[in-house]
Amino acid sequence: MSVHAPASKSRRRHRTLQDPRGLADFVRNLQEGIYVTTADGRILDANPAFLRMLGVGSLLELRRFTADQLLIDPARRAQELQILARDGAVREFELEIRRPDGEVRTVLDTAHQRVDEATGEGYYHGILIDISERKRLERKLRDSAIRNALTGCYNRHYLHEQERRLDASGAPWGVIVIDVDHFKEYNDRFGHHTGDQVLQGLARFLMATVRTEDAVIRIGGDEFLILLHKSAAPATDEVANRLQELGPTAAPVSFSQGWAVKSEGQTLKRTIRRADRQLIQVRVRERRYQPPRAAH
């Protein structure tokens, strides 16, 4: 009987979650990250999957950091703690963490509040699920929906999204409408492949010239729109003048432009129409012809 007792106990251990050794094995082998932290963010314990998720080799190394130090936005943890204090638990709370090696990961945190009856100190037991790959695919799908495949610029779908958001916000904006000069002749004289190169080259020039917070949008065959967020007349004029100055030497092709800024109570669509009208006036006023050249 005594010879078979250890095997019997082992079988029982794997059949229940009440056995401490069996439960410890279960937690250790999970692919999800399990952790225990204090209310002030000190990490007390974690399973191997949690260490791998954070890119550290040991619990001792991990303990050099608090939860706040590992979060890109510590205010998100404050929000999570409010939910835990109110409800005692939180489920699938999305967080962005920056590992000690600098890599950013997106995780879902499910946690429960626990209180030491002897001391009254609070603890949190939680599980992290890494959804970084899913977020990357979501961003890729969104980019394919709002970006023009040929040029990499934003497309009209993105512009419609911005119309709804900006018209509701009341924030200022400026717009610059840009057309390639004599674009049809690029296609006629050099072929559609060269025409595509012209559009790609101009798109690169525009995206490199404007501010990072502004958007370059392809809105037609050879027509681009620069949407300058939170820009009044001086800032819009500055960008338009910079494009005009750099164009002859830095742009792959010649182009014409018109610009406008939001008037009181005006929609984005009407501002774009005003910029379009100015573009037409510029072309009529200049009345100059420059033969198309092969894109460089």
Secondary structure of the chain as H, E, C letters? CCCCHHHHHHHHHCCCCCCHHHHHHHHHHCCCEEEEEECCCEEEEECHHHHHHHCCCCHHHHCCCEHHHHECCHHHHHHHHHHHHHHCEEEEEEEEEECCCCCEEEEEEEEEEEECCCCCCEEEEEEEEECHHHHHHHHHHHHHHHECCCCCCECHHHHHHHHHHHHHHCCCEEEEEEEECCHHHHHHHHCHHHHHHHHHHHHHHHHHHCCCCCEEEECCCCEEEEEEECCCHHHHHHHHHHHHHHHHHHCCCCEEEEEEECCCCCCHHHHHHHHHHHHHHHHHHHCCCCCCCCCC
* CATH code for the domain defined by 147-286: 3.30.70.270
Which tens digits make up the pLDDT trace of 13-33? 567 767 778 778 878 888 899
CB-based burial label for 125 (10 Å; 0-12, 13-18, 19+): middle
pTM: 0.62
Per-residue confidence (pLDDT) for residue 24, from 0 to 100: 81
List residues bridging with 227 in a β-sheet.
175, 215
CB atoms within 10 A of CB 109: 22
Residues 261-274 have a mean pLDDT of 93
Average pLDDT over residues 101-130: 92
Contact between residue 173 and residue 268 where contact means Cβ atoms under 8 Å apart: yes
Catalytic residue among 181, 196, 222, 237: 222
Q: Are 259 and 177 within 8 A, CB to CB?
A: yes
Burial 180-208 (b: 16+ CB within 10 A, else e): bbbbeebbeebeeeebebbbbbbbbbbbe
Q: How far is CA 135 from the centre of its chain?
A: 9
296 pLDDT band, cuts 50/70/90, is: low
Question: Would you state the pLDDT for residue 213?
Answer: 87
pLDDT for residue 49 is more than 80? yes
**pLDDT over 70 percentage in the chain:** 91
Which pLDDT score, from 0 to 100, does residue 29 have? 84
Among 174, 173, 155, smallest CA distance to 257 is for 174
pLDDT in tens, 243-265: 999 998 999 999 999 999 999 88
Percent of the chain scored above 90 by pLDDT? Answer: 61
- The region that residue 265 occupies, defined by phi over 0 for left and psi between -120 and 50 for alpha, beta otherwise, is left
Nearest Cα residue to 124 out of 166, 161, 84: 84
Q: Tell me the pLDDT band of 285, cut-offs 50, 70 and 90.
A: confident
Alpha carbons 34 and 21: distance in angstroms, whole number: 16
Query: For residues 295 and 198, is the Cβ–Cβ distance under 8 A?
Result: yes
pLDDT band at residue 295, thresholds of 50, 70 and 90? low
The predicted pLDDT at position 191 comes to 87
d(CA 240, CA 227): 12
Mean pLDDT of the chain, nearest integer: 88
Examine the pLDDT at 289 and tell me if it is beyond 50. Answer: no
Confidence at residue 293, expressed as pLDDT on a 0 to 100 scale? 53
Is the per-residue pLDDT at 287 higher than 80?
A: no
Phi, psi of 78, deg, nearest 5: -60, -40
pLDDT-based confidence at residue 7 (cuts at 50, 70, 90): low
- Virtual torsion, Cα 181, 185, 186, 191, nearest 10 deg: 160
As a whole number of angstroms, the distance between CA 251 and CA 202 comes to 6
pLDDT above 80 (res 10)? no
Residue extents of the structural domains in the chain: 7-136, 147-286
CA–CA separation, 34 and 148 (whole Å): 42
As a whole number, mean pLDDT of residues 112-130 equals 91
Establish whether 237 is a catalytic residue: no
Residue 121 has pLDDT above 50, yes or no: yes
pLDDT tens sequence across 132-170:
999 988 888 888 889 999 999 999 999 999 999 999 988
**Is it the case that residue 294 has pLDDT exceeding 60?**
no
pLDDT band for position 2 (50/70/90)?
A: very low
Fold of the domain spanning 7-136: Beta-Lactamase (3.30.450)
Is pLDDT above 70 for 3?
A: no
